[in-house]
């Protein structure tokens, strides 16, 4: 897995404390491709309601307005590295990683599809020229002409965990807080974040892998969540240094909510 030596800072929205790149996320739900392609899950992993994936697949095949191409990725980059690099900009609907034949297979190409075009625009703006694993990235819109001209050999690809539209919006507005003190209650969690904007939902969860206490906070506005990440990530709370990142479907589905 790649270890980026240089942090990427997102723009400040107010105040004097600089923004932070969210800490490296847990291993994302990996789905390897079989010869017949990945199996489609019929239910949203968060609310367990049926999800019609056929419409999303049709949109993916016909619409390239939300897809970006990341070139000059090192050969050491894996799909989770690529996810960690771009997930801070918005909800992702597809990621693939391929060898760059034009570069003699010394570097890789990443194709990332966002749910919203404005999130893709932000990724292009802030990642272009960013130093990652000692290489300068080039990020641009993925066009049909580029795809047909290059046709790279796919090394790795996966689709994010199936979600319904409602839960996808919840994930996009939610932050994940780790390293909370064991005596933290939900009121404490609320008091940590209510200064940044209207909160739709908040609750404590137990990380099933580590047994540690975590929190999920859903804001009403994404910019408020972004501000919370900027200010609370790295904040010392009860002698614990908090880690705050954008929540993923895995955060909301694979952990147990406390009663």
Q: Is the predicted pLDDT of residue 230 greater than 80, yes or no? A: yes
Domain with CATH 3.30.70.330 in the chain: 53-158, 173-257
Q: Are 136 and 16 in contact (CB under 8 A)?
A: no
Per-residue CA distances from 42 to 78, 114, 162 (Å): 27, 21, 8
Distance in Å from the first CA to the final CA of the chain: 36
State the pTM of this model: 0.54
List pLDDT tens digits, range 8-49: 544 433 333 333 333 333 333 333 333 444 444 467 767 777
Query: pLDDT digits over 182-209, tens only?
Result: 999 999 999 999 999 999 999 998 877 7
Q: Give the pLDDT band of residue 252 (cuts 50, 70, 90).
A: confident
Residue bearing the bigger pLDDT, 208 or 160: 208
pLDDT band at 257, cuts 50/70/90? low
Q: Which CATH superfamily is domain 53-158 in?
A: RRM (RNA recognition motif) domain (3.30.70.330)
Question: What is the domain class of 173-257 according to CATH?
Answer: alpha beta
């Amino acid at each position: 897995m790649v270890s980026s030596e240089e942090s990427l800072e997102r723009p400040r929205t107010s105040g004097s404390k600089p923004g932070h790149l969210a800490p490296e996320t847990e291993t994302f739900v990996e789905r390897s491709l079989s010869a017949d392609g990945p199996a489609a899950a019929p239910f949203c992993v968060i609310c367990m309601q049926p999800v019609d994936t056929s419409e999303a697949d049709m949109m993916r095949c016909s619409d390239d307005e939300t897809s970006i191409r990341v070139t000059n990725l090192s050969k050491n980059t894996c799909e989770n590295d690529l996810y960690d690099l771009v997930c801070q900009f918005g909800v992702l609907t597809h990621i693939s990683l391929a060898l760059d034949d034009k570069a003699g297979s010394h570097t890789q190409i990443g194709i990332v599809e966002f749910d919203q075009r404005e999130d893709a625009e932000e990724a292009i703006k802030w990642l272009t020229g960013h130093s990652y694993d000692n290489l300068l990235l080039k990020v641009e819109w993925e066009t049909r002409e580029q795809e047909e001209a290059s046709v790279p050999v796919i090394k790795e690809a996966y689709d994010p965990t199936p979600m319904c539209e409602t839960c996808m919006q919840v994930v996009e507005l939610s932050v994940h807080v780790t390293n909370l003190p064991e005596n933290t209650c939900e009121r404490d969690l609320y008091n940590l974040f209510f200064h940044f904007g209207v909160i739709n939902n908040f609750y404590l969860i137990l990380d099933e892998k580590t047994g540690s206490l975590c929190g999920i906070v859903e804001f009403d506005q994404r910019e408020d969540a972004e501000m919370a990440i900027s200010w609370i990530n790295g904040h010392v709370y009860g002698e614990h240094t908090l880690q705050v990142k954008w929540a993923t479907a895995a955060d909301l589905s694979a952990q147990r909510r406390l009663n």
